[in-house]
Structure 1
Amino acid sequence: MRDRGPLFGETVLFTGTPKSPEVFNLVKQYGGTPISLPLIQVAEIEEADDERKMNECSHFDWLIFTSQSAVEAFRAKMLRFGFSADLIHSKIAAVGTKTAAALEKIGFNVSFIPTVFSADTFVKQFQPETNRQLNVLFLRGNLAGSLIKEELPFHVVEWTVYKTEKQLSSIGKILNILDEATSVNILFASPSAVHIFAEAIAASRGWEGFTICAIGHVTEQALIEAGAPRVDVKPETYTLIDLVNALARRKEGL
Protein backbone atom coordinates (compact mmCIF):
# COMPACT_ATOMS: atom_id res chain seq x y z
CA MET A 1 0.00 0.00 0.00
CA ARG A 2 1.26 3.46 -0.85
CA ASP A 3 1.94 5.91 1.98
CA ARG A 4 -1.20 7.89 1.22
CA GLY A 5 -3.37 4.85 0.48
CA PRO A 6 -4.47 3.28 -2.80
CA LEU A 7 -7.58 5.49 -2.96
CA PHE A 8 -5.77 8.77 -2.32
CA GLY A 9 -7.27 11.42 -4.58
CA GLU A 10 -10.16 9.13 -5.53
CA THR A 11 -13.83 10.01 -5.20
CA VAL A 12 -15.85 6.89 -4.32
CA LEU A 13 -19.51 7.43 -5.09
CA PHE A 14 -22.17 5.12 -3.61
CA THR A 15 -25.42 4.99 -5.57
CA GLY A 16 -27.35 2.73 -3.19
CA THR A 17 -29.13 3.47 0.04
CA PRO A 18 -26.57 3.79 2.87
CA LYS A 19 -26.81 1.12 5.58
CA SER A 20 -23.75 1.60 7.77
CA PRO A 21 -20.87 4.07 8.20
CA GLU A 22 -18.44 1.12 8.18
CA VAL A 23 -17.96 1.11 4.41
CA PHE A 24 -17.45 4.89 4.26
CA ASN A 25 -14.83 4.70 6.99
CA LEU A 26 -13.04 2.01 4.98
CA VAL A 27 -12.82 4.33 1.97
CA LYS A 28 -11.31 7.01 4.21
CA GLN A 29 -8.80 4.52 5.62
CA TYR A 30 -7.67 3.85 2.05
CA GLY A 31 -7.24 7.60 1.55
CA GLY A 32 -10.33 8.15 -0.60
CA THR A 33 -13.32 10.47 -0.37
CA PRO A 34 -16.65 8.63 0.04
CA ILE A 35 -19.82 10.32 -1.18
CA SER A 36 -23.31 8.90 -0.76
CA LEU A 37 -25.73 9.92 -3.51
CA PRO A 38 -28.42 7.24 -3.62
CA LEU A 39 -30.31 6.88 -6.87
CA ILE A 40 -32.95 4.85 -5.08
CA GLN A 41 -34.89 5.21 -1.86
CA VAL A 42 -36.77 2.48 -0.08
CA ALA A 43 -39.83 2.72 2.13
CA GLU A 44 -41.97 0.22 4.00
CA ILE A 45 -45.29 -0.64 2.38
CA GLU A 46 -48.09 -0.43 4.94
CA GLU A 47 -51.35 -2.22 4.20
CA ALA A 48 -54.57 -2.85 6.08
CA ASP A 49 -53.93 -6.58 6.43
CA ASP A 50 -50.35 -6.30 7.73
CA GLU A 51 -51.28 -7.46 11.24
CA ARG A 52 -53.04 -10.53 9.86
CA LYS A 53 -49.99 -11.37 7.76
CA MET A 54 -47.71 -10.95 10.78
CA ASN A 55 -49.87 -13.40 12.74
CA GLU A 56 -49.61 -15.90 9.89
CA CYS A 57 -45.79 -15.84 9.71
CA SER A 58 -45.40 -18.77 12.09
CA HIS A 59 -47.57 -20.91 9.79
CA PHE A 60 -44.64 -21.01 7.37
CA ASP A 61 -41.73 -23.40 7.66
CA TRP A 62 -39.26 -20.80 6.39
CA LEU A 63 -39.08 -17.03 6.02
CA ILE A 64 -36.73 -15.81 3.26
CA PHE A 65 -35.07 -12.38 3.30
CA THR A 66 -32.90 -11.26 0.39
CA SER A 67 -32.04 -7.73 1.54
CA GLN A 68 -31.52 -5.53 4.55
CA SER A 69 -34.39 -3.36 3.29
CA ALA A 70 -36.78 -6.30 3.69
CA VAL A 71 -35.50 -6.84 7.23
CA GLU A 72 -35.99 -3.16 8.09
CA ALA A 73 -39.55 -3.16 6.76
CA PHE A 74 -40.34 -6.38 8.63
CA ARG A 75 -38.86 -4.95 11.82
CA ALA A 76 -41.10 -1.88 11.48
CA LYS A 77 -44.14 -4.15 11.30
CA MET A 78 -42.95 -6.16 14.30
CA LEU A 79 -42.67 -2.98 16.34
CA ARG A 80 -46.02 -1.65 15.15
CA PHE A 81 -47.93 -4.77 16.11
CA GLY A 82 -45.96 -5.82 19.19
CA PHE A 83 -44.20 -8.86 17.75
CA SER A 84 -40.83 -10.20 18.87
CA ALA A 85 -38.63 -12.82 17.26
CA ASP A 86 -39.53 -15.45 19.85
CA LEU A 87 -43.16 -15.32 18.68
CA ILE A 88 -42.18 -16.37 15.16
CA HIS A 89 -41.17 -20.03 15.06
CA SER A 90 -40.29 -20.31 11.37
CA LYS A 91 -36.74 -21.01 10.26
CA ILE A 92 -34.95 -18.09 8.65
CA ALA A 93 -32.99 -17.93 5.39
CA ALA A 94 -30.97 -14.86 4.39
CA VAL A 95 -29.18 -13.89 1.20
CA GLY A 96 -25.97 -12.30 2.43
CA THR A 97 -24.11 -11.87 5.69
CA LYS A 98 -25.30 -8.28 6.12
CA THR A 99 -28.92 -9.36 5.77
CA ALA A 100 -28.25 -12.16 8.26
CA ALA A 101 -26.63 -9.73 10.70
CA ALA A 102 -29.65 -7.41 10.46
CA LEU A 103 -31.94 -10.35 11.27
CA GLU A 104 -29.81 -11.49 14.19
CA LYS A 105 -29.83 -7.95 15.54
CA ILE A 106 -33.60 -8.16 15.99
CA GLY A 107 -33.47 -11.58 17.62
CA PHE A 108 -33.64 -14.17 14.84
CA ASN A 109 -31.31 -17.11 14.28
CA VAL A 110 -30.44 -17.51 10.61
CA SER A 111 -30.36 -21.16 9.51
CA PHE A 112 -29.28 -20.76 5.89
CA ILE A 113 -27.10 -18.38 3.83
CA PRO A 114 -26.02 -19.25 0.26
CA THR A 115 -22.33 -19.24 -0.62
CA VAL A 116 -22.90 -16.51 -3.23
CA PHE A 117 -25.18 -13.69 -2.17
CA SER A 118 -27.68 -13.74 -5.03
CA ALA A 119 -31.13 -15.15 -5.68
CA ASP A 120 -29.98 -17.44 -8.49
CA THR A 121 -27.46 -19.15 -6.21
CA PHE A 122 -29.98 -19.23 -3.36
CA VAL A 123 -32.55 -21.25 -5.33
CA LYS A 124 -29.88 -23.79 -6.28
CA GLN A 125 -28.50 -24.25 -2.78
CA PHE A 126 -31.62 -23.94 -0.62
CA GLN A 127 -32.50 -27.61 -0.17
CA PRO A 128 -33.87 -28.29 3.32
CA GLU A 129 -34.08 -31.97 4.13
CA THR A 130 -37.74 -32.88 4.32
CA ASN A 131 -40.18 -35.54 3.19
CA ARG A 132 -43.11 -33.14 2.89
CA GLN A 133 -44.07 -30.04 0.95
CA LEU A 134 -42.70 -26.92 2.63
CA ASN A 135 -44.53 -23.64 3.00
CA VAL A 136 -42.20 -20.69 2.48
CA LEU A 137 -42.75 -16.94 2.87
CA PHE A 138 -40.58 -14.63 0.76
CA LEU A 139 -40.33 -11.10 2.19
CA ARG A 140 -39.63 -9.01 -0.91
CA GLY A 141 -39.48 -5.56 -2.43
CA ASN A 142 -41.74 -4.36 -5.22
CA LEU A 143 -38.97 -4.72 -7.83
CA ALA A 144 -37.85 -8.23 -6.84
CA GLY A 145 -37.76 -10.79 -9.61
CA SER A 146 -39.83 -13.96 -9.83
CA LEU A 147 -36.90 -16.38 -9.50
CA ILE A 148 -37.50 -17.47 -5.91
CA LYS A 149 -41.20 -18.11 -6.40
CA GLU A 150 -40.76 -19.87 -9.73
CA GLU A 151 -37.63 -21.92 -9.07
CA LEU A 152 -38.03 -23.19 -5.52
CA PRO A 153 -39.81 -26.57 -5.42
CA PHE A 154 -41.97 -25.49 -2.49
CA HIS A 155 -45.20 -23.62 -1.89
CA VAL A 156 -43.90 -20.04 -1.93
CA VAL A 157 -46.01 -17.10 -0.79
CA GLU A 158 -44.70 -13.59 -1.49
CA TRP A 159 -45.23 -10.62 0.80
CA THR A 160 -44.11 -7.28 -0.66
CA VAL A 161 -43.03 -5.32 2.40
CA TYR A 162 -41.10 -2.42 0.87
CA LYS A 163 -40.94 -0.36 -2.29
CA THR A 164 -38.01 1.06 -4.22
CA GLU A 165 -38.36 4.46 -5.87
CA LYS A 166 -36.14 6.88 -7.78
CA GLN A 167 -34.27 9.51 -5.81
CA LEU A 168 -34.03 12.20 -8.47
CA SER A 169 -32.29 14.74 -6.24
CA SER A 170 -28.99 12.83 -6.61
CA ILE A 171 -28.81 13.00 -10.40
CA GLY A 172 -27.61 16.60 -10.77
CA LYS A 173 -25.07 16.15 -7.98
CA ILE A 174 -23.61 13.05 -9.64
CA LEU A 175 -23.33 14.92 -12.95
CA ASN A 176 -21.47 17.73 -11.17
CA ILE A 177 -19.03 15.29 -9.60
CA LEU A 178 -18.37 13.62 -12.95
CA ASP A 179 -17.65 17.03 -14.47
CA GLU A 180 -15.49 18.37 -11.65
CA ALA A 181 -13.73 15.54 -9.80
CA THR A 182 -10.38 14.23 -11.04
CA SER A 183 -10.86 10.50 -10.50
CA VAL A 184 -14.33 9.08 -9.89
CA ASN A 185 -15.38 5.54 -8.99
CA ILE A 186 -19.09 4.72 -9.08
CA LEU A 187 -20.32 1.80 -7.00
CA PHE A 188 -23.54 0.05 -8.03
CA ALA A 189 -25.21 -2.25 -5.51
CA SER A 190 -28.40 -3.13 -7.39
CA PRO A 191 -29.89 -3.29 -10.89
CA SER A 192 -32.40 -0.62 -9.80
CA ALA A 193 -29.64 1.96 -9.36
CA VAL A 194 -28.08 0.88 -12.66
CA HIS A 195 -31.32 1.46 -14.57
CA ILE A 196 -31.78 4.96 -13.14
CA PHE A 197 -28.14 5.87 -13.83
CA ALA A 198 -28.45 4.60 -17.41
CA GLU A 199 -31.61 6.60 -18.09
CA ALA A 200 -30.78 9.83 -16.30
CA ILE A 201 -26.99 10.10 -16.63
CA ALA A 202 -25.35 7.66 -19.05
CA ALA A 203 -27.91 8.38 -21.77
CA SER A 204 -26.53 11.90 -22.10
CA ARG A 205 -22.87 11.63 -21.09
CA GLY A 206 -21.98 7.99 -21.69
CA TRP A 207 -20.12 5.44 -19.58
CA GLU A 208 -16.57 6.76 -19.90
CA GLY A 209 -14.49 8.84 -17.50
CA PHE A 210 -15.10 6.83 -14.32
CA THR A 211 -14.39 3.42 -12.84
CA ILE A 212 -17.44 1.14 -12.92
CA CYS A 213 -17.88 -1.09 -9.87
CA ALA A 214 -20.58 -3.75 -9.35
CA ILE A 215 -21.38 -5.58 -6.13
CA GLY A 216 -22.11 -8.89 -7.90
CA HIS A 217 -22.86 -10.70 -11.14
CA VAL A 218 -26.53 -9.70 -11.29
CA THR A 219 -25.66 -6.01 -11.05
CA GLU A 220 -22.77 -6.57 -13.46
CA GLN A 221 -25.17 -8.07 -16.01
CA ALA A 222 -27.53 -5.13 -15.55
CA LEU A 223 -24.67 -2.73 -16.30
CA ILE A 224 -23.69 -4.54 -19.49
CA GLU A 225 -27.30 -4.71 -20.64
CA ALA A 226 -27.68 -0.98 -19.92
CA GLY A 227 -24.78 -0.16 -22.22
CA ALA A 228 -21.71 -0.11 -19.99
CA PRO A 229 -18.72 -1.25 -22.08
CA ARG A 230 -17.25 -3.16 -19.15
CA VAL A 231 -17.30 -3.59 -15.38
CA ASP A 232 -13.93 -2.66 -13.89
CA VAL A 233 -14.37 -4.05 -10.38
CA LYS A 234 -16.47 -6.89 -8.98
CA PRO A 235 -15.57 -8.65 -5.71
CA GLU A 236 -15.68 -12.39 -5.12
CA THR A 237 -17.91 -11.88 -2.08
CA TYR A 238 -20.92 -9.68 -2.74
CA THR A 239 -20.74 -7.01 -0.04
CA LEU A 240 -19.90 -3.31 -0.20
CA ILE A 241 -16.93 -3.86 2.10
CA ASP A 242 -15.50 -6.41 -0.33
CA LEU A 243 -16.28 -4.13 -3.26
CA VAL A 244 -14.28 -1.28 -1.70
CA ASN A 245 -11.43 -3.68 -0.90
CA ALA A 246 -11.43 -4.90 -4.50
CA LEU A 247 -11.40 -1.31 -5.78
CA ALA A 248 -8.44 -0.50 -3.53
CA ARG A 249 -6.52 -3.53 -4.85
CA ARG A 250 -7.20 -2.48 -8.41
CA LYS A 251 -6.02 1.08 -7.84
CA GLU A 252 -2.96 -0.15 -5.97
CA GLY A 253 -2.04 -2.30 -8.98
CA LEU A 254 -2.30 0.51 -11.53
Structure 2
Amino acid sequence: MPEHGSLLGETVIFTGTLKTLEVFDLVRHYGGVPVSIPLIQVNEVEEQTDETKMKNCANFDWLIFTSQNAVRAFQSKMERFAISVNEIPSKIAAVGTRTAAALEKIGFSVEFIPSVFSADVFVKQFKPTNGELNVLFLKGTLAGSIIREELPFEVKEWTVYETGAKRDSIDSLVDLLKNKRNCSVLFASPSAVRVFKEDAVPIIGWEGYTIGAIGHITERALIEAGATVDVKPEIYTLKELVKSLSKRKDEFR
Protein backbone atom coordinates (compact mmCIF):
# COMPACT_ATOMS: atom_id res chain seq x y z
CA MET A 1 0.00 0.00 0.00
CA PRO A 2 1.46 3.39 -0.94
CA GLU A 3 2.26 5.75 1.92
CA HIS A 4 0.85 8.60 -0.15
CA GLY A 5 -1.33 8.92 -3.20
CA SER A 6 -4.18 10.90 -4.68
CA LEU A 7 -6.74 8.36 -3.39
CA LEU A 8 -5.15 7.79 0.02
CA GLY A 9 -7.93 7.24 2.53
CA GLU A 10 -10.57 7.06 -0.21
CA THR A 11 -13.06 4.18 -0.48
CA VAL A 12 -13.88 3.72 -4.17
CA ILE A 13 -17.17 1.88 -4.73
CA PHE A 14 -17.90 0.19 -8.07
CA THR A 15 -21.65 -0.27 -8.60
CA GLY A 16 -21.43 -2.37 -11.77
CA THR A 17 -20.49 -5.99 -12.31
CA LEU A 18 -16.72 -6.03 -12.71
CA LYS A 19 -15.30 -7.97 -15.64
CA THR A 20 -11.70 -7.62 -14.41
CA LEU A 21 -9.88 -6.75 -11.19
CA GLU A 22 -7.44 -4.51 -13.06
CA VAL A 23 -9.28 -1.41 -11.84
CA PHE A 24 -8.92 -2.61 -8.25
CA ASP A 25 -5.15 -2.68 -8.70
CA LEU A 26 -5.27 0.83 -10.14
CA VAL A 27 -7.24 2.17 -7.15
CA ARG A 28 -4.70 0.58 -4.80
CA HIS A 29 -1.87 2.08 -6.85
CA TYR A 30 -3.28 5.52 -6.05
CA GLY A 31 -3.61 4.59 -2.38
CA GLY A 32 -7.36 3.96 -2.29
CA VAL A 33 -9.50 1.05 -1.11
CA PRO A 34 -11.59 -0.52 -3.90
CA VAL A 35 -14.96 -2.09 -3.08
CA SER A 36 -17.31 -3.91 -5.45
CA ILE A 37 -21.02 -3.57 -4.62
CA PRO A 38 -22.93 -4.41 -7.82
CA LEU A 39 -26.41 -2.91 -8.04
CA ILE A 40 -27.33 -4.92 -11.12
CA GLN A 41 -27.08 -8.57 -12.09
CA VAL A 42 -26.83 -9.96 -15.59
CA ASN A 43 -28.04 -13.33 -16.86
CA GLU A 44 -28.13 -14.92 -20.29
CA VAL A 45 -31.57 -15.12 -21.89
CA GLU A 46 -32.17 -18.67 -23.09
CA GLU A 47 -34.99 -19.51 -25.51
CA GLN A 48 -36.03 -22.52 -27.57
CA THR A 49 -35.23 -20.59 -30.76
CA ASP A 50 -31.60 -19.92 -29.75
CA GLU A 51 -30.05 -22.63 -31.92
CA THR A 52 -31.91 -21.45 -35.02
CA LYS A 53 -30.94 -17.83 -34.32
CA MET A 54 -27.30 -18.79 -33.78
CA LYS A 55 -27.13 -20.60 -37.11
CA ASN A 56 -28.84 -17.65 -38.80
CA CYS A 57 -26.08 -15.27 -37.63
CA ALA A 58 -23.98 -16.36 -40.59
CA ASN A 59 -26.52 -14.67 -42.89
CA PHE A 60 -25.95 -11.19 -41.51
CA ASP A 61 -23.46 -8.74 -43.01
CA TRP A 62 -22.71 -7.21 -39.60
CA LEU A 63 -23.13 -8.19 -35.97
CA ILE A 64 -23.19 -5.29 -33.49
CA PHE A 65 -22.17 -5.68 -29.84
CA THR A 66 -22.38 -2.81 -27.36
CA SER A 67 -21.30 -4.61 -24.17
CA GLN A 68 -19.16 -7.40 -22.80
CA ASN A 69 -22.34 -8.93 -21.37
CA ALA A 70 -23.66 -9.48 -24.89
CA VAL A 71 -20.37 -11.05 -25.92
CA ARG A 72 -20.42 -13.38 -22.93
CA ALA A 73 -24.01 -14.48 -23.62
CA PHE A 74 -23.23 -14.97 -27.32
CA GLN A 75 -20.16 -17.04 -26.48
CA SER A 76 -22.25 -19.22 -24.17
CA LYS A 77 -24.68 -19.93 -27.00
CA MET A 78 -21.83 -20.67 -29.42
CA GLU A 79 -20.43 -23.23 -27.01
CA ARG A 80 -23.82 -24.77 -26.23
CA PHE A 81 -24.61 -25.36 -29.91
CA ALA A 82 -21.03 -26.12 -30.99
CA ILE A 83 -20.81 -23.22 -33.43
CA SER A 84 -17.33 -21.96 -34.20
CA VAL A 85 -16.16 -18.48 -35.14
CA ASN A 86 -15.36 -19.78 -38.63
CA GLU A 87 -19.05 -20.52 -39.16
CA ILE A 88 -19.93 -16.84 -38.61
CA PRO A 89 -18.34 -14.82 -41.47
CA SER A 90 -20.20 -11.62 -40.55
CA LYS A 91 -18.26 -8.42 -39.94
CA ILE A 92 -18.19 -7.31 -36.32
CA ALA A 93 -18.79 -3.86 -34.82
CA ALA A 94 -18.16 -3.17 -31.13
CA VAL A 95 -18.87 -0.20 -28.90
CA GLY A 96 -15.78 0.10 -26.73
CA THR A 97 -12.32 -1.39 -26.56
CA ARG A 98 -13.29 -3.76 -23.74
CA THR A 99 -16.15 -5.16 -25.79
CA ALA A 100 -13.81 -5.48 -28.77
CA ALA A 101 -11.20 -7.25 -26.63
CA ALA A 102 -13.83 -9.73 -25.38
CA LEU A 103 -14.81 -10.48 -28.99
CA GLU A 104 -11.21 -10.88 -30.11
CA LYS A 105 -10.51 -13.18 -27.18
CA ILE A 106 -13.01 -15.71 -28.55
CA GLY A 107 -11.64 -15.41 -32.08
CA PHE A 108 -13.53 -12.63 -33.86
CA SER A 109 -11.90 -9.73 -35.69
CA VAL A 110 -13.53 -6.40 -34.90
CA GLU A 111 -13.87 -4.18 -37.96
CA PHE A 112 -15.39 -1.06 -36.40
CA ILE A 113 -15.23 0.77 -33.04
CA PRO A 114 -16.60 4.32 -32.65
CA SER A 115 -14.33 7.08 -31.35
CA VAL A 116 -16.59 7.56 -28.31
CA PHE A 117 -17.92 4.43 -26.66
CA SER A 118 -21.66 5.09 -26.75
CA ALA A 119 -24.58 4.14 -28.98
CA ASP A 120 -25.41 7.71 -30.01
CA VAL A 121 -21.91 8.24 -31.39
CA PHE A 122 -21.89 4.75 -32.93
CA VAL A 123 -24.93 5.49 -35.12
CA LYS A 124 -23.30 8.67 -36.42
CA GLN A 125 -19.97 7.05 -37.29
CA PHE A 126 -21.01 3.57 -38.46
CA LYS A 127 -21.20 4.04 -42.23
CA PRO A 128 -20.27 0.86 -44.13
CA THR A 129 -19.79 1.39 -47.84
CA ASN A 130 -22.10 -1.52 -48.77
CA GLY A 131 -25.54 -0.79 -50.16
CA GLU A 132 -28.37 -2.74 -48.56
CA LEU A 133 -27.17 -4.29 -45.30
CA ASN A 134 -28.45 -7.13 -43.19
CA VAL A 135 -27.50 -6.20 -39.62
CA LEU A 136 -28.07 -7.87 -36.25
CA PHE A 137 -27.77 -6.07 -32.91
CA LEU A 138 -27.00 -8.39 -29.96
CA LYS A 139 -28.48 -6.62 -26.96
CA GLY A 140 -29.74 -6.73 -23.39
CA THR A 141 -33.25 -6.21 -22.08
CA LEU A 142 -32.57 -2.58 -21.11
CA ALA A 143 -30.90 -1.52 -24.36
CA GLY A 144 -32.26 1.66 -25.92
CA SER A 145 -33.77 1.92 -29.37
CA ILE A 146 -31.21 4.31 -30.87
CA ILE A 147 -29.29 1.69 -32.88
CA ARG A 148 -32.45 0.24 -34.36
CA GLU A 149 -34.07 3.59 -35.06
CA GLU A 150 -31.20 5.80 -36.19
CA LEU A 151 -29.04 3.63 -38.42
CA PRO A 152 -30.01 4.23 -42.09
CA PHE A 153 -30.88 0.60 -42.77
CA GLU A 154 -32.97 -2.14 -41.19
CA VAL A 155 -31.50 -3.52 -37.97
CA LYS A 156 -32.76 -6.75 -36.49
CA GLU A 157 -32.35 -7.30 -32.76
CA TRP A 158 -31.69 -10.33 -30.60
CA THR A 159 -31.97 -10.00 -26.81
CA VAL A 160 -29.28 -12.32 -25.45
CA TYR A 161 -29.05 -11.16 -21.82
CA GLU A 162 -31.23 -9.59 -19.16
CA THR A 163 -30.33 -7.00 -16.54
CA GLY A 164 -32.06 -6.85 -13.17
CA ALA A 165 -31.68 -5.01 -9.89
CA LYS A 166 -29.46 -6.56 -7.23
CA ARG A 167 -31.15 -4.98 -4.24
CA ASP A 168 -29.45 -7.13 -1.61
CA SER A 169 -26.39 -4.91 -2.15
CA ILE A 170 -28.11 -1.72 -1.01
CA ASP A 171 -27.66 -2.21 2.75
CA SER A 172 -23.89 -2.70 2.38
CA LEU A 173 -23.60 0.34 0.15
CA VAL A 174 -25.63 2.58 2.46
CA ASP A 175 -23.64 1.44 5.50
CA LEU A 176 -20.38 2.29 3.77
CA LEU A 177 -21.55 5.74 2.76
CA LYS A 178 -22.85 6.43 6.25
CA ASN A 179 -19.75 5.28 8.10
CA LYS A 180 -16.81 6.21 5.86
CA ARG A 181 -15.64 9.80 5.62
CA ASN A 182 -14.18 9.74 2.11
CA CYS A 183 -16.12 7.75 -0.48
CA SER A 184 -16.48 7.80 -4.23
CA VAL A 185 -19.32 6.00 -5.99
CA LEU A 186 -18.67 5.05 -9.62
CA PHE A 187 -21.52 4.33 -12.02
CA ALA A 188 -21.05 2.44 -15.28
CA SER A 189 -24.65 2.33 -16.51
CA PRO A 190 -28.03 4.05 -16.22
CA SER A 191 -29.35 0.77 -14.80
CA ALA A 192 -27.15 1.08 -11.71
CA VAL A 193 -28.16 4.74 -11.38
CA ARG A 194 -31.83 3.73 -11.40
CA VAL A 195 -31.39 1.19 -8.59
CA PHE A 196 -29.29 3.62 -6.53
CA LYS A 197 -31.86 6.38 -6.92
CA GLU A 198 -34.78 4.15 -5.95
CA ASP A 199 -33.19 2.33 -3.00
CA ALA A 200 -30.25 4.31 -1.64
CA VAL A 201 -31.01 7.99 -2.28
CA PRO A 202 -34.15 8.06 -0.09
CA ILE A 203 -31.88 7.05 2.82
CA ILE A 204 -28.64 8.96 2.20
CA GLY A 205 -29.40 11.49 -0.55
CA TRP A 206 -26.92 12.62 -3.21
CA GLU A 207 -24.54 14.56 -0.94
CA GLY A 208 -21.44 13.66 1.04
CA TYR A 209 -19.55 11.56 -1.50
CA THR A 210 -17.93 11.91 -4.92
CA ILE A 211 -19.91 10.73 -7.92
CA GLY A 212 -18.29 9.37 -11.07
CA ALA A 213 -19.92 8.45 -14.41
CA ILE A 214 -18.27 6.30 -17.07
CA GLY A 215 -19.72 8.35 -19.96
CA HIS A 216 -22.24 10.93 -21.04
CA ILE A 217 -25.23 8.57 -21.14
CA THR A 218 -24.68 7.55 -17.51
CA GLU A 219 -23.89 11.16 -16.64
CA ARG A 220 -27.24 12.23 -18.11
CA ALA A 221 -29.05 9.54 -16.09
CA LEU A 222 -27.39 10.81 -12.90
CA ILE A 223 -28.26 14.44 -13.61
CA GLU A 224 -31.86 13.51 -14.38
CA ALA A 225 -31.94 11.61 -11.08
CA GLY A 226 -30.87 14.75 -9.22
CA ALA A 227 -27.15 14.10 -8.78
CA THR A 228 -24.14 16.30 -9.48
CA VAL A 229 -21.52 14.40 -11.47
CA ASP A 230 -18.03 15.18 -10.22
CA VAL A 231 -15.98 13.00 -12.56
CA LYS A 232 -16.39 11.78 -16.16
CA PRO A 233 -13.43 10.60 -18.27
CA GLU A 234 -12.85 11.50 -21.89
CA ILE A 235 -12.41 7.81 -22.74
CA TYR A 236 -15.36 5.77 -21.50
CA THR A 237 -13.71 2.93 -19.54
CA LEU A 238 -13.56 2.18 -15.82
CA LYS A 239 -9.79 2.45 -15.92
CA GLU A 240 -9.98 5.99 -17.29
CA LEU A 241 -12.73 6.83 -14.78
CA VAL A 242 -10.42 5.83 -11.92
CA LYS A 243 -7.62 7.90 -13.45
CA SER A 244 -9.94 10.91 -13.71
CA LEU A 245 -11.05 10.42 -10.11
CA SER A 246 -7.42 10.31 -9.00
CA LYS A 247 -6.67 13.52 -10.88
CA ARG A 248 -9.65 15.30 -9.33
CA LYS A 249 -8.72 14.24 -5.80
CA ASP A 250 -5.14 15.33 -6.40
CA GLU A 251 -6.33 18.77 -7.48
CA PHE A 252 -8.35 19.22 -4.29
CA ARG A 253 -5.57 18.18 -1.91
State if a TM-score over 0.5 links the two structures: yes
Aligned equivalent of 1:184: 183
Aligned equivalent of 1:147: 146
Following TM superposition, the consecutive aligned residue runs of length 4 or more in structure 1 with deviations greater than 6 angstroms are none
What is the Cα deviation at residue 203 of structure 1? Answer: 2.3
1:118-157 Cα deviation digits (max 9, x unpaired): 0000000000012x21010000000000000000111210
The reply on whether 1:14 has 2:17 as its aligned counterpart is no
* In 1, Cα distance between equivalents of 2:47 and 2:132: 29
Aligned equivalent of 2:109: 109
Aligned equivalent of 1:219: 218
TM-score of the superposed pair, with normalisation by structure 1: 0.98
Give the match's secondary structure for 1:17.
coil
Give the match's secondary structure for 1:56.
helix
What is the Cα deviation at residue 72 of structure 1? Answer: 0.3
Aligned equivalent of 1:164: 163
* In 1, Cα distance between equivalents of 2:40 and 2:90: 31
- The unaligned stretches of length 5 or more in structure 1 are none
Summarize the alignment of residues 1-254 of structure 1 with structure 2, pairs less than 5 Å apart.
4-130=4-130, 132-228=131-227, 230-254=228-252
- Whichever residue aligns with residue 196 of structure 1, its letter is V
Contact 2:50–2:77 (Cα < 8 Å) also in 1: yes
- The unaligned stretches of length 5 or more in structure 2 are none
1:18-50 Cα deviation digits (max 9, x unpaired): 100101111011110000000000000000000
What is the Cα deviation at residue 3 of structure 1? Answer: 5.4
TM-score of the superposed pair, with normalisation by structure 2: 0.98
Contact 2:3–2:31 (Cα < 8 Å) also in 1: no
1:69-89 Cα deviation digits (max 9, x unpaired): 000000000010001111100
What is the Cα deviation at residue 182 of structure 1? Answer: 1.4
- Whichever residue aligns with residue 218 of structure 2, its letter is T
* In 2, Cα distance between equivalents of 1:107 and 1:26: 28
Contact 2:95–2:113 (Cα < 8 Å) also in 1: yes
What is the Cα deviation at residue 92 of structure 1? Answer: 0.1
- Whichever residue aligns with residue 182 of structure 1, its letter is R
Deviation larger for 203-212 or 41-50 = 203-212
TM-align CA RMSD? 0.9
1:189-225 Cα deviation digits (max 9, x unpaired): 0000000000001123210000000000000000000
